């Protein structure tokens, strides 16, 4: 049994332990209270931040919605009755309040269609959108020099004129892969080329497509043709009622549904429906139907009473009144007037016109002259003209195929390439200066082009 002293000692120890426990409890409570208070304060801050974030998110959404609404209104692009920033088939989402596409951004909008075309052709083709929202398949022609194609003896040295605009070089030009079709002259496959359109209307349609768009020029046509010659290839085409006159097994899909070589109906073919041999580079990525199918109006050159007037480079906005008169005249071996008609012999180059085949200043259709282009003669007084060679107006001795036609009286605008019934007279050098700007025939169309 414990003594009194031992019991007292046990009680003291118990009191000490109790005191320690109470002190420890007080410390733990203070710590717990602090932790709780800290947690509550943190929670309050988090809640406050969450409220701020929610408010800011709502403000951001509201601002975004207002911005989109404003952009839609500015875009002016309407599809199914509602303005939209999202592209629809054949539509583009960039424009001002008048639905005018930005001159730099508009044509280059990236989309799945362009990506597919560029991927399939290794970048040789692209898609450019015009101001009407139409997708135009274009062939990219990179800049080259006359030195590059080995023709300095005929053309001189330097950059081909197609890549010069008012003396400034451009890295590339874009040529319609197909002849223009429809209301807006769209370059699209398997379409009936637009025809029965006069020069000014064709030019106006191309220019209405937006900044940079224009009727294909004589500089562009000549550059592509010279590139073909330098690479040892001249394309064939629809030159015999839906087929090639020099390769019967090559044919396209006639728009009138008739068989190749059927001499009835209209023998135009659907754009690009012929084989790759009908493209300028003999591949599916080339410019189609330069030879045959329908003649193509060209910008940048004309004749007035037999004298050539033209732009000196690929400036597409120069007024005709500012075109340069060239010391290049087309003469006739026979003189004529309003009573003469038919063929008046082979034309030839001269330093002046000694005989007009019809009445001077008259845009009517009386007598005419024609000759295989490479066989055009030259009067002894004629001085070879480098620019005329660069434009395939003066022969260059390279065997370029095609026939030359002219009425050396009145004003005449050029068509090139030939038509479906022209046979061996069609070709890259086929040049017809028979028609006034008001002429509109079922065998004459056009091709859009673009340069930035």
What pLDDT is attached to residue 126? 96
Q: Which sign does the torsion angle of CA 411, 164, 166, 173 carry?
A: positive
The reported pTM is 0.78
What pLDDT is attached to residue 2? 57
Distance CA 127, CA 110 (A): 9
With contact defined as beta carbons under 8 Å apart, do 291 and 417 qualify?
A: yes
What pLDDT is attached to residue 111? 82
Residue 140: closest CA among 156, 128, 154:
128
pLDDT < 70 regions, the chain? 1-110
With contact defined as beta carbons under 8 Å apart, do 361 and 410 qualify?
A: yes
Residue 73: closest CA among 92, 101, 95, 102:
95
What pLDDT is attached to residue 42? 53
CATH topology for 110-452 is 3.90.1580
Distance CA 443, CA 436 (A): 15
| Per-domain residue ranges of the chain | 1-75, 110-452
What pLDDT is attached to residue 55? 57
């Amino acid at each position: 049994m414990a003594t009194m002293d031992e019991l007292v000692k046990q009680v003291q120890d118990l009191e000490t332990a109790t005191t320690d426990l109470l002190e420890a409890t007080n410390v733990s409570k203070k710590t717990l209270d602090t932790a709780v208070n800290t947690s509550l304060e943190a929670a309050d801050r988090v809640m406050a931040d969450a409220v701020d974030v929610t408010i800011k998110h709502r403000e951001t959404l509201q601002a975004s919605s207002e911005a989109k609404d404003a952009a839609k209104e500015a875009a002016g692009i309407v599809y199914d009755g509602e303005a939209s920033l999202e592209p629809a088939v054949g539509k583009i989402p960039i424009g001002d309040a008048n639905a005018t596409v930005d001159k730099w951004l508009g044509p280059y909008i990236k989309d799945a269609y362009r990506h597919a075309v560029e991927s399939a052709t290794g970048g040789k083709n692209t898609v450019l959108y015009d101001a009407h929202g139409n997708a135009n398949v274009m062939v990219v022609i990179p800049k080259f020099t006359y030195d590059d194609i080995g023709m300095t003896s005929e053309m001189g040295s330097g950059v081909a004129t197609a890549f010069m605009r008012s003396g400034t070089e451009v890295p590339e030009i874009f040529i319609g892969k197909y002849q223009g079709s429809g209301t807006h002259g769209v370059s699209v496959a398997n379409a009936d080329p637009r025809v029965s359109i006069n020069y000014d209307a064709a030019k106006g349609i191309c220019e209405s497509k937006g900044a940079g768009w224009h009727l294909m020029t004589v500089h562009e046509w000549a550059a592509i043709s010279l590139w073909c010659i330098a690479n040892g290839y001249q394309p064939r085409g629809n030159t015999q009622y839906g087929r090639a006159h020099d390769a019967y097994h090559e044919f396209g899909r006639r728009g009138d549904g008739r068989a190749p070589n059927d001499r009835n109906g209209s023998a135009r073919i659907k754009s690009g429906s012929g084989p790759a041999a009908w493209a300028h580079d003999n591949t599916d990525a080339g410019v189609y139907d330069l030879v045959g199918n329908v003649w193509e109006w060209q910008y940048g050159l004309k004749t007035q009473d037999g004298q050539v007037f033209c732009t000196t480079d690929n400036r597409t906005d120069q007024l005709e009144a500012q075109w340069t008169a060239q010391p290049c005249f087309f003469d006739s071996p026979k003189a004529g007037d309003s009573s003469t008609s038919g063929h008046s012999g082979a034309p030839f180059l001269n330093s002046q016109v000694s005989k007009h085949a019809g009445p001077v200043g008259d845009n009517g259709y009386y007598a005419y002259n024609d000759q295989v282009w490479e066989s055009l003669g030259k009067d002894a007084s004629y001085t070879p003209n480098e620019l005329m060679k660069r434009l395939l107006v003066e022969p260059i001795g390279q065997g370029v195929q095609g026939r030359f036609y002219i009425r050396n009286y009145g004003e005449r605008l050029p068509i090139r390439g030939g038509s479906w019934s022209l046979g061996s007279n069609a070709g890259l050098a086929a040049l017809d200066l028979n028609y006034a700007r008001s002429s509109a025939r079922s065998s004459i169309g056009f091709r859009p082009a673009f340069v930035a």
